[in-house]
Structure 1
Amino acid sequence: MSAMTNPRSRPSAPAAPLLENVTASSFPTRHPSWLRCDELAQPLAEIRHQLQQTESLDIEQVRARTKWRLRHEINFMGSERFRSLREGKRIFALPLGLADRHSAPGSAQGRPTGSELPIHLGRLCEAALLEPDQEEQLFERMNYLRQQAAIHRTILNPERPSRSRLELIDLYLALAQWHRDRILEANLRLVFSIVKKFVTPNHSFDELLSDGIIALIRSVEKFDFERGFRFSTYATQVVRRNAYRTVVLLQQERERMIGGAQDMELNISNEDRCSAISEKRWHELRSRLGGMLGNLDRREKFIIRSRFSLGSHRRVHTLQSLANRLGVSKERVRQLERRAMDKLRLMARTNDLAELER
């Protein structure tokens, strides 16, 4: 293992040098022999239904698919040795030896001891942990397949679209995703164990779990297996940092919404300002405030959101900065803000929003 002490992934290898000097003759569209190896028999059987054949498409549809593919880059952790088709024979020669994914439902295999998760969530943790060599093989296969797909993507030409090349790219990417999913399944319990530590009455487990899984997917995309570190070491940092950021952002949003309610002359207690509002009351408050903002005109809505840092606005904007944006005077912005606040106060009384305080 590397002597380095910081288990960060290196930036993805620059794609351009790895995709240079690629020609249609050097990378033909016929399937390489390693695609027929025993190791890919199961993945191929499972992904067949995902693949779209192009034979039924007319030439304009094939051209449109080619343009779509060229607009979407293929990300991978590249290697010079992955340019060789012969490398595929070596990579897929050794058996992975993964545990059967279709074991009996509800099996406790792999489930964390003492888990209090519901059955439907507990089953997500039943995939067996990966051995170090299995983990390395999965990452190597995934990135090799993606680099091969990216190589063929550079050869695509909308003026002379190739059905067989489009299908080969789709095949490589589907196989790469199959290998990626095996990595995700084996590491879901890591996400569960991290995010449950951030759960509070105001931050639900489901919400944190959803964000945690997205963070896990991002970490798979960026992890460099050749550095010699276990994936769990890197993923733990990514998922934990993401969970902390999610909690902070939710707390900031909650405080902004409570502040907005106070400015509409709603009586929010000190206890509620300390984030003691229940989830149900909080979501209803946010929903009603969002609905009332929708009744403002475009400029009023923009000013209120900017002044109270709501929605996509992450900081409070000054009257002058808004005046510059809208092309009006500072005093005009103040008038529009006052008019919008009067409308919101009237809507709050009409909608009996203060009942949320009970």
Structure 2
Amino acid sequence: MQEQLVMNQSIAGTNSPLQRRLAGRREQEVSFSAERSDAPLVQVGPADPCDHGFKSHENSGSLRALNSSEEAKLKKLMSKVIDYIVSPEFDKEDAESNIFQDVEEITRPDISWYRPLMDDGTTGKPGSVKMPAKKASAVLTLAQERVLFLKFNYARFRQRLIQDELDGRLPSLKQKHELLKWNAVSENYRRQIAETNLALVLAMAKRVRLSDVDFADLISEGNMALMRSVDKFDCERGFKFSTYSCRAILKAFSRQGMKDTRYRKRFPAEYDPSMERSDHLETLRRNHEQECAQEVKHIVINNEADLTSIELSVLELRFGVTSEKSSESEENTPKRALTLEQVGQIIGVTKERVRQIQNKSLKKIRLMLEDPTNSERKAQRQATAN
């Protein structure tokens, strides 16, 4: 009784509807705990929106443990304060039954037209996109929109009640299931409202003239603005949702256009990895190496450096360069380059002697390449070839 007296005093000092509802629920729990009876207590839950596919549990004994995906979703829900749009309907005693059961059910729209339309319009311009037929896009009345938004915000309101009741404490298993249930309800109606108004984004995209903005980016930004409008729209003000969301979508298009304009000023050309680094010097070096190799081959084949027969044999065996004399005299010339030791075994000398012969022959070729008259002979050969 002492606890009940303190609770009554705290209730008298509350002002907001949310605080009054929380205090009333705590007072009811205290009175239940003070009551003794031999018969088991049956907890009667609120009128859940069972007709909408969301099942409630009558007692905590029938609750199952959450799986890993549900625990992760619950952790995400508890990490932020759930916001909602206040309505006087939420403070009534039979608010849940009035909002969910005593109203006409609104059928979900058919959005099968949306995906093919987006696939056809991603390569075109906003003005070339054809709007869907009226029968393919459901248009809600003001009363129907109010019904959907009341359901959506009441589901968020119930989640906020549980969050405020916890006040930083860990939720019980029943509270976890309640949070997940009302989150599923709110997400269901949020999706239904957005699907019903998908055509608004296309209608606004036809009105703007942003040739520099990609059509897919424009539609994506408009869809994000539409979802934000669903979260912030107040149906109690008496306006239709399109009045509020169309201006938000146009503002989002304008921001996207300014963002793309700033980007193109900083980056006038598209990024091309092949043009990021110039390979001009590397190409010149590679071409120079090929020209030098061809020149060395010409000197060896024509023996312009006055190489001896043993020097020609060493170069042939070591580097695979064949002169005219050796190609005519020897038919079984190895194709691959041999080591110093292998060359020494073939010509009958040590590998050190083979190294000396190789260095001497390469020195003759280097002197021939550095000879000023060699460039003149090279120019004459190129002129003759042309």
TM-score scaled by structure 1? 0.54
Partner Cα separation in structure 2 for residue 96 and residue 54 of structure 1: 31
Partner Cα separation in structure 1 for residue 235 and residue 28 of structure 2: 26
Deviation at 1:213, TM superposition (A): 0.4
Q: Read off the aligned partner of 2:201 and give its amino acid letter.
A: V
Give the structure 2 partner of residue 239 of structure 1.
Answer: 249
Question: Any unmatched runs of 5+ in structure 2?
Answer: 1-14, 30-42, 56-61, 115-126, 282-386
Deviation at 1:235, TM superposition (A): 0.6
Are 1:195 and 2:173 an aligned pair? no
Q: Do the aligned residues in 2 keep the contact of 1:223 with 1:234 (CA within 8 Å)?
A: yes
Q: 1:116 to 1:91 in 2, by over 3 A?
A: same
What is the 5 A alignment of 1:216-227? Answer: 216-227=226-237
Partner Cα separation in structure 2 for residue 208 and residue 252 of structure 1: 16
Q: Do the aligned residues in 2 keep the contact of 1:146 with 1:172 (CA within 8 Å)?
A: yes
Deviation at 1:178, TM superposition (A): 1.1
Give the structure 1 partner of residue 99 of structure 2.
Answer: 91
Q: Do the aligned residues in 2 keep the contact of 1:127 with 1:185 (CA within 8 Å)?
A: no
Q: Read off the aligned partner of 2:254 and give its amino acid letter.
A: Y
Give the structure 2 partner of residue 34 of structure 1.
Answer: 47
Give the structure 1 partner of residue 195 of structure 2.
Answer: 185
Give the structure 2 partner of residue 206 of structure 1.
Answer: 216
What is the 5 A alignment of 1:294-305? Answer: none
Q: Do the aligned residues in 1 keep the contact of 2:82 with 2:160 (CA within 8 Å)?
A: yes
Deviation at 1:181, TM superposition (A): 1.4
Partner Cα separation in structure 2 for residue 214 and residue 174 of structure 1: 20
Deviation at 1:145, TM superposition (A): 1.3
What is the 5 A alignment of 1:112-123? Answer: 117=129
Q: Do the aligned residues in 1 keep the contact of 2:142 with 2:239 (CA within 8 Å)?
A: no
Which is further off, 158-167 or 223-232? 158-167
* SS of equivalent residue, structure 1 residue 44: coil
Q: 1:92 to 1:57 in 2, by over 3 A?
A: closer
Partner Cα separation in structure 2 for residue 71 and residue 62 of structure 1: 14
Q: Read off the aligned partner of 2:208 and give its amino acid letter.
A: F
Which residue of the other structure, out of 252, 256, 262, is the alignment partner of 1:252? 262
Q: Do the aligned residues in 2 keep the contact of 1:66 with 1:157 (CA within 8 Å)?
A: no
Q: Deviations over 1:215-244 (max 9, x none)?
A: 011111111111111110011110001101
Q: Read off the aligned partner of 1:93 and give its amino acid letter.
A: Q
Q: Read off the aligned partner of 2:183 and give its amino acid letter.
A: L
Give the structure 2 partner of residue 72 of structure 1.
Answer: 80
Give the structure 2 partner of residue 55 of structure 1.
Answer: 64
Question: Any unmatched runs of 5+ in structure 1?
Answer: 1-15, 46-52, 108-114, 259-280, 290-345, 353-358
Deviation at 1:173, TM superposition (A): 1.5
Give the structure 2 partner of residue 168 of structure 1.
Answer: 178
Give the structure 2 partner of residue 25 of structure 1.
Answer: 26
Q: Do the aligned residues in 1 keep the contact of 2:74 with 2:179 (CA within 8 Å)?
A: no
Which residue of the other structure, out of 123, 129, 136, is the alignment partner of 2:146? 136
Q: Do the aligned residues in 2 keep the contact of 1:63 with 1:161 (CA within 8 Å)?
A: no
Q: Do the aligned residues in 1 keep the contact of 2:159 with 2:179 (CA within 8 Å)?
A: yes
Q: Deviations over 1:239-265 (max 9, x none)?
A: 00110111111111111112xxxxxxx
TM-score scaled by structure 2? 0.51
Give the structure 2 partner of residue 156 of structure 1.
Answer: 166
- The number of aligned residues is 235
Q: Deviations over 1:268-301 (max 9, x none)?
A: xxxxxxxxxxxxx63x35xx59xxxxxxxxxxxx
Partner Cα separation in structure 2 for residue 162 and residue 33 of structure 1: 18
Which residue of the other structure, out of 82, 101, 107, is the alignment partner of 2:90? 82
Give the structure 2 partner of residue 13 of structure 1.
Answer: none
